[in-house]
Every structure is written in C-alpha cells, then in structure tokens.
Amino acid sequence: MAVTPATPLDIASHGPVIPVIVIEHVHDALPLAEALLAGGVQVLEVTLRTAAGLPAIEAIARQLPQAVVGVGTVLDADDARRASAAGARFAVSPGYTQQVGDACKALKLPLLPGVATSSEIMAALSDGFSFLKLFPAEAAGGIPLLKSWVSPFGQVSFCPTGGIGPATAPDYLALPNVRCVGGSWLTPADAVRSGDWARITALARAAQALRGAM
C-alpha cells in the first residue's frame, strides 16, 4: 500500500539516515530500492547527478509505492517539475534559492533546502522552510557549527549531509537540532556495480539501528 505524501519532518521520522543514492544504470534502481526497503529504510533520495536519476525515480515510484522516493540535487525549478512528474515525493537541494522554493510550493512537493551559512538559514526561514539540510556538513563546520546554531535558530532542525559516515553519524544524531542525517555509505558504488544487494540491506539495517544505539 502506498504511504501518504510526506512533509519534510515526516521524512525525518522514518529513520535516522536518509540514503543519498547515485544510480548509474536504471536497471539497478529497483533491486537497490528493494535492498534498502528490506533493511528497513523507506525514504530514498535519488540524486540527479546522472542521466539515470530521473528514470530511476520513475521506476521506483511506479513499482515500489511503499518507498518514499525523493529527488536530490535539485538545482532549479525545471529539475523540480521533471522530478515531480516522474513521481518524486519530496525534493532536496544542495543550496537554497527562492526560485526552487516557489517551484516546489507550486508543485506541492516538500522541499528540504540546503544551507551552509546563517544568512542562508534566514533566507529559507523567511520563505517558510524550517527543516534544512546542512551541506556539505563536514566541510561547512559540522558538529561545532550545528551547536552554535542551536541558540539563534532554535526553531530550525537539520539533516546534515556530506562527509558523514557510520562512525560519525551518532554524534550528529545526538545534537538537539538534528532530526536525521544524509549519507551515501548505505549504497557503496562497488556494491551496486556487483549487485551485492545483501550488503546494502545489511548497511541499511545497521543505519536504522543508529539512533537506538546512542
């Protein structure tokens, strides 16, 4: 059964880690998504970094309605429109522009905007977005930066993404303003190339257990 469309905060409630997925070949989309679902990971961010991204989203949305498939690397309004038409349930952008925000609002496509500075947070807040993606998390300042934002931006929660792995994810998840983290470690390129879906299921299961292990 298909789940209802997710808001950004609903997306965070499904688990501590949102996989950031780069798909090189469309035929990998369904077995990869099935492997993540088998490990308990329901929210999938498929990026537009490759030509296979958009058809992969369409295939997952059509064949696996139990997955909450979203689109990553949304850079402009056209990206948002094409992804929404393909069946994406939410959008993630590496940065924030009002153009992207307005397009997603018009499409009723929940947006997780990327920020790296206080000014970008203020711009996103002014447009009604309070659940934000810190990107690139480690390069931008990581845990110390998020700690410094707790006081001035108490109404904002984050999904840090970029440079985070299973060893550091629990430290991020322990912060009061972090709802979840994004990470590519759940879908290693070599595992996808070799079709090692069991390995991806194991990584997904371990990721789902991260918050409980804190």
Number of domains in the chain: 1
Which of the four pLDDT bands, split at 50, 70 and 90, describes residue 7?
A: confident
Strand order of the sheet with strand 111-112? 111-112, 91-92, 68-72, 43-47, 17-21, 181-183
The reply to whether 30 falls in a domain is yes
Average pLDDT, the chain: 95
Is residue 42 over pLDDT 70?
yes
Supply 167's token pair.
Answer: 């060893």
The reply to whether 214 falls in a domain is no
- Once rounded to an integer, what is the mean pLDDT over residues 17-28? 98
The reply to whether 55 falls in a domain is yes
Which of the four pLDDT bands, split at 50, 70 and 90, describes residue 4?
A: low
The reply to whether 213 falls in a domain is no
Supply 126's token pair.
Answer: 């002014």
Q: pTM for the full model?
A: 0.95
The reply to whether 158 falls in a domain is yes
Is residue 6 over pLDDT 50?
yes
The reply to whether 3 falls in a domain is no
Is residue 214 over pLDDT 60?
no
Task: Name the residues annotated as catalytic.
Answer: 45, 133
Q: Which of 16, 5, 93, 6 is nearest to 47 (CA)?
A: 93
- Once rounded to an integer, what is the mean pLDDT over residues 88-112? 98
Angle between helical axes of 77-86 and 98-107 (0-180°, round to 10): 30
- Once rounded to an integer, what is the mean pLDDT over residues 5-27? 93
What CATH number has the domain bearing residue 67? Answer: 3.20.20.70
The reply to whether 59 falls in a domain is yes
The length of the chain is 214
What letter would DSSP give residue 44?
Answer: E
- The Cα–Cα gap between 113 and 94 comes to 7
The reply to whether 198 falls in a domain is yes
Q: Residue 32 sits in which domain range?
A: 8-208
